[in-house]
Amino acid sequence: MKVLVLNGPNLGRLGLREPGIYGSTTYAGLVALCEDTAEELGISVDVRQTDHEGEMVGWLHEAADHGLPVVLNAAAWTHYSVAVRDAAAQLEADLIEVHISNVHKREEFRKESYLSEIATGLVVGLGVQGYALALRWLAGKAG
Ligand code: DQA
């Protein structure tokens, strides 16, 4: 099984970006965590990050066209992008929404997600380990 792990804006700056909120793991560390977890689980992952909404929409179309499950941290787009939601709504395989921080403990605007209604499930507030948990759940389902 192949899983796309898609990350939205500013997540390329993990480790540098507000470490008190997002932790000290760098984006390279997050990619390594996902790849190591996938290897352990016997699945394959393709981990990507973009600051460009159209690129994210294209990746979601690719996942839809190939029937691939997606682990998605849409970052700020979560809270306002109808385009990302409409692209994610085309997925037939599972969509797991991940947030590193507990968005419900933060500003009001972070409590709204355009994605939760169409996601299979969510992992929120468990740091970068949330990605590993999402992959474990997907692999368990496939196995
Ligand atoms: C985030 C939470 C979002 O509110 C924020 O815009 C992000 C990261 C998280 O992983 O905690 O960029 O999705």
40-65 tens-digit pLDDT? 999 999 999 999 999 999 999 999 99
Cα distance between residue 32 and residue 54, in whole Å: 26
Q: How far is CA 24 from CA 15, 103, 127, in A?
A: 4, 18, 10
From the candidates 22, 27, 114, 131, which is the catalytic residue? 22
Check residue 12 and give its pLDDT: 98
Token pair in block for residue 17: 């970006």
- Residue 17 confidence (pLDDT) above 60: yes
pLDDT tens column, 88-117: 999 999 999 999 999 999 999 999 999 999
State the average pLDDT for the chain: 97
Q: Catalytic annotation on 22?
A: yes
Q: Is the pLDDT of residue 72 over 70?
A: yes
The one-letter amino acid code at 3 reads: V
The residue assigned the tokens 């190591």 is 36
pTM score of the predicted model: 0.97
The DSSP code for 101 is S
Q: What is the pLDDT of residue 143?
A: 57
The residue whose CA has the least distance to atom 13 of ligand 1 is: 75
For residue 7, give every residue at least 6 positions away whose Cβ sits within 8 Å of its Cβ, in sequence order, or none.
27, 30, 47, 48, 49, 50, 73, 75
27, 99, 114, 131: the catalytic one is 99
Q: 32: helix, coil or strand?
A: helix
Q: Which pLDDT band, with edges at 50, 70 and 90, does 66 fall under?
A: very high
Q: How confident is the model at residue 78 (pLDDT cuts 50, 70, 90)?
A: very high
pLDDT at 141: 83
Asked whether residue 79 is marked as a ligand-binding residue, the answer is: yes
Q: Which residues pair with 73 in a beta bridge?
A: 7
pLDDT at 7 over 60: yes
